[in-house]
Amino acid sequence: MKKVSRKRRIFDIIQLGNVSDWPSRAFDYFLVAVIIANILAMFLETFDELAPYRGLFDAVESITVLIFCVEYALRLWTAEYLYPGRTRTEAVLRFMVSYDGIVEILTILPFFFLSGAVAFRMLRVVRIFHLFRINATYDSFHVITSVLKEKRNQILSSLFIVLILMLASSLCMYSAEHEAQPDKFANALSGMWWAVSALLTVGYGDIYPITVTGRILAVIISFLGVGAVAIPTGIISAGFVEQYRRAQGKGSLMEGLVTVTVELDSRWKGMTALEVERDARAALLLIRRNGEILEIGEDYRAREGDELLLRKTA
C-alpha cells in the first residue's frame, strides 16, 4: 500500500468530523476544549470579582489564540488536499475566502488588532458547530439549513412585511403622541423602539402612549404584531413538516441502495458524478465527505474516503 506523506497525514488529522480516524477525532475534542477554554476566559475576565485572576485569564486566552494560529497555518499549508483540482496558491486563496477560513481568521485577528471588539471575538462560538456533525444522512443541522434555504424567499418576504409594519407603526405613534410627549416621540423614527417592542410582543415599557388615539393605535398594532411574528414561525414549521415527510418517503425507497467508499486505489478517484454513474451503472443519490454532505454538481471529483450512496439501475 502506498505510504501516506506526513503533510497528507496532518491534513487527515486536522480535518474536522473525520470519525473514522481516532487521531483526527482526538484533535476535534482537543479543539473543542481549547475553544471552550478561550470563551470561558473571555467571559470570566468581565467579572470585577475575579479581577485578581485577570492575569490567568489573559494567559489562557493567549495560549488558546496561539493554538488557533497554529491550526490556521496548518490548514493553509494543507489546503491543496482540500481543493485537489487547484494549484497550491489557488487552494490557499480559496480556503482564505471560504466560510471556514473567514470564521477562523476572525477568531484570531481581534486578539491582536480589535481587543475591544467582543462581537468579532464571539465568532469563535461558530467554530464549535463544525465539530458536532452527526454521522447520518439527515442530521439535525442539515435539516435546519435545508429548511431555511428552501424557504428563504418566504422568510425574507415576511421579514419585509414586519419592517414595513414597524415603520408604519412608528409614524402613526409619532403623529398621535408627538404633542403629548415631544421628548419621547421627537421624530418619526423615535417610535421605532416602541414599535419593535410592541410588534415583537416584548413590551419593555420605557416608552408607551398616553393619549386616547395613541392607545387605540397601540392595541391595533399589538394585534398586528402577533400575526407578524406568527408568519415566519408558520413558514419554518411547515418547512420542517415537509422535510420530515420527504425523509419518510425516502425511507421507503431504501431497497436497492448501496453505500460505496472510494478507496486509495479505486478507479473512481478523479471521476465526475456522471462518470461514476456510468461506470457503476447506478444512480448517484448522495455524496458524503468527512461527515459532510456534498452537492452533486459538475465540479465534483471523487476523492479517497468519499462515501457514495448509489441505487442500482436495471
The whole domain housing 296 covers 257-312
Residues 187 and 302 in one domain: no
Residues 200 and 291 in one domain: no
Q: What is the distance between the alpha carbons of residues 65 and 38, in angstroms, rounded to a whole number?
A: 8
Residues 247 and 261 in one domain: no
Residues 20 and 115 in one domain: yes
Q: What is the distance between the alpha carbons of residues 80 and 85, in angstroms, rounded to a whole number?
A: 8
- Residue found under cell 488557533: 68
> Span 47-70, mean pLDDT?
88
pTM over 0.75: no
Residue 278's CATH number: 3.30.70.1450
Residue 56 scores a pLDDT above 60: yes
| CA end-to-end distance (rounded Å), the chain | 35
85 against 20, higher pLDDT = 85
Packing angle, helices 22-44 and 54-77, rounded to 10:
140
Note the pLDDT of residue 124. 57
Judge whether 199 lies within some domain: yes
Q: Which helix (H) or strand (E) holds 282?
A: strand 282-289
Q: Is 108 helix (H, G, I), strand (E, B) or coil?
A: helix
Residues 29 and 95 in one domain: yes
Q: What is the DSSP code string of 205-258?
A: -SS---SHHHHHHHHHHHHHHHHHHHHHHHHHHHHHHHHHHHHHHHHTT-TTEE
Q: Hey, which residues does 146 pair with through a beta bridge?
A: none
Q: What is the pLDDT of residues 95-116, one digit of tens each?
A: 898 877 887 787 777 777 655 4
Q: What is the distance between the alpha carbons of residues 32 and 125, in angstroms, rounded to a whole number?
A: 10
Q: What is the pLDDT of residues 166-192, one digit of tens each?
A: 888 888 888 888 888 888 888 877 777
Q: Which of 132, 311, 142 is nearest to 243 (CA)?
A: 142
Q: What is the pLDDT of residues 2-24, one digit of tens each?
A: 455 888 888 888 876 556 678 88
Note the pLDDT of residue 255. 53
Q: How many domains does the chain have?
A: 3
Residues 214 and 282 in one domain: no
Judge whether 275 lies within some domain: yes
Residues 233 and 293 in one domain: no
Residue 81's CATH number: 1.20.120.350
Q: How confident is the model at residue 253 (pLDDT cuts 50, 70, 90)?
A: very low
Q: How confident is the model at residue 73 (pLDDT cuts 50, 70, 90)?
A: very high
Q: Is 197 helix (H, G, I), strand (E, B) or coil?
A: helix
Q: What is the distance between the alpha carbons of residues 265 and 269, in angstroms, rounded to a whole number?
A: 8
Last residue of a domain, one of 219, 251, 283: 251
Q: Is 293 helix (H, G, I), strand (E, B) or coil?
A: strand
Q: How confident is the model at residue 248 (pLDDT cuts 50, 70, 90)?
A: low
Task: For the sheet with 257-261, list strands across it.
Answer: 257-261, 307-312, 282-289, 292-294
Percent of residues, the chain, with pLDDT higher than 90: 3
Residues 12 and 118 in one domain: yes
Q: What is the pLDDT of residues 262-278, one digit of tens each?
A: 877 677 888 888 888 88
> Span 241-252, mean pLDDT?
63
Q: How confident is the model at residue 70 (pLDDT cuts 50, 70, 90)?
A: very high
> 119-132 burial by CB neighbour count: b if 16+ within 10 A, else e?
ebbeebebbeebbe
Residues 23 and 127 in one domain: yes
Residues 67 and 45 in one domain: yes
Residues 100 and 29 in one domain: yes
